[in-house]
Amino acid sequence: MPPPFAAVVFDLDGTLVDSAPDLCGLVNEMLAELDRPALDLAEVLPMIGDGSRALLERGLRASGGVPPTVDLDAMFAEFLRRYARMPVRPDQVYPGVVPMLEELAASGVRLGLCTNKPQAPTDRLLATLGLARLLTVAIGGDALPVRKPEAGHLLAVLARLGVDVAGAALVGDSRTDLLTARAAGVPCILVSSGYTPIPARDLGADLVIEHMSDLGQALDALDPSRRSGEAPASA
């Protein structure tokens, strides 16, 4: 039996990997140099998802605002330099992610990544964690003129995968991912354990799963051939 979708595209932070503790520590390191109080992990979690620059700016605003004397471009560049030096830990990958990706790939599904994390740290993370071999197309938030929640970001991933929107689904963890899927016209599955101030079940996704091991069943439930009476779209 052919897979229900020709392609599945994933978000990264909060969906496939738990990067929040490292990002929180780095934000606090930058704040400490401005004599700012540290932020709790719970405060930083909802700041993640719109890219590293947005995270840094939100951290500054939450701790007293962006200082008028700070060169934000230079500070962001330093943030990225430090992030590039941080060790990548294998335990950052959520349980069940690798087996599920391997299962989907073995069944012929094309796998991609659509993330607002900048391209360089995205590529480094995927390579170090062994995910690059499975996610054959990965487009970061600074690689295009547009990024999530604009449809063009996801559509670019699908174009490089060679799959039409009719044969694709997006898996993420936040409202940004849901808005991206809706803008592109693809079904959206959210994981409940991600980085969102609004519970995933309250966002209105097509389906919400508790664990990545549940993804196969969720994709079967959203099978476009079951909904339309036609064969799933192929690449």
CA–CA separation, 17 and 192 (whole Å):
13
Q: What pTM, to 2 d.p., does this model score?
A: 0.88
* Residue range 20-85, CATH number: 1.10.150
Arithmetic mean of pLDDT, 61-85:
90
CA–CA separation, 44 and 165 (whole Å):
33
Q: Where are the beta strands (DSSP E) in the chain?
A: 7-10, 110-114, 137-139, 168-172, 188-191, 207-209
Arithmetic mean of pLDDT, 181-192:
97
7-10 sheet: strands from edge to edge: 137-139, 110-114, 7-10, 168-172, 188-191, 207-209
Going by pLDDT thresholds of 50, 70 and 90, the confidence category of residue 66 is confident
Q: Which pLDDT belongs to residue 128? A: 94
Arithmetic mean of pLDDT, 67-87:
90
Which carries the bigger pLDDT value, residue 228 or residue 152? 152
Chain-wide mean pLDDT for the chain?
91
CA–CA separation, 131 and 104 (whole Å):
13
- State what percent of residues in the chain have pLDDT above 70: 95
Q: Which of 85-94, 162-171, 179-188 has the lowest mean pLDDT?
A: 85-94
Q: Is pLDDT of 230 > 50? A: no
Per-residue CA distances from 7 to 3, 82, 157, 159 (Å) = 9, 34, 10, 11
Catalytic residue of the set 11, 13, 173, 177: 11
**Segment of 75-84, 118-127, 150-159 carrying the highest mean pLDDT:** 150-159
DSSP characters for 59-78?
A: HHHHTT---TT--HHHHHHH
CATH class of 7-18+93-228: alpha beta
Q: Is pLDDT of 133 > 50? A: yes
Is 11 an annotated catalytic residue? yes
Contact indicator for 225, 167 with CB cutoff of 8 Å:
no
For the chain, what are the domain ranges? 7-18+93-228, 20-85
Q: In 3-state terms, what secondary structure has residue 195?
A: coil
Q: Which pair of structure tokens corresponds to residue 177? A: 């991912």
**Interhelix angle 52-62/20-32, nearest 10 degrees:** 50
Vertex 180 angle, CA 90 and 110, to 5°: 55
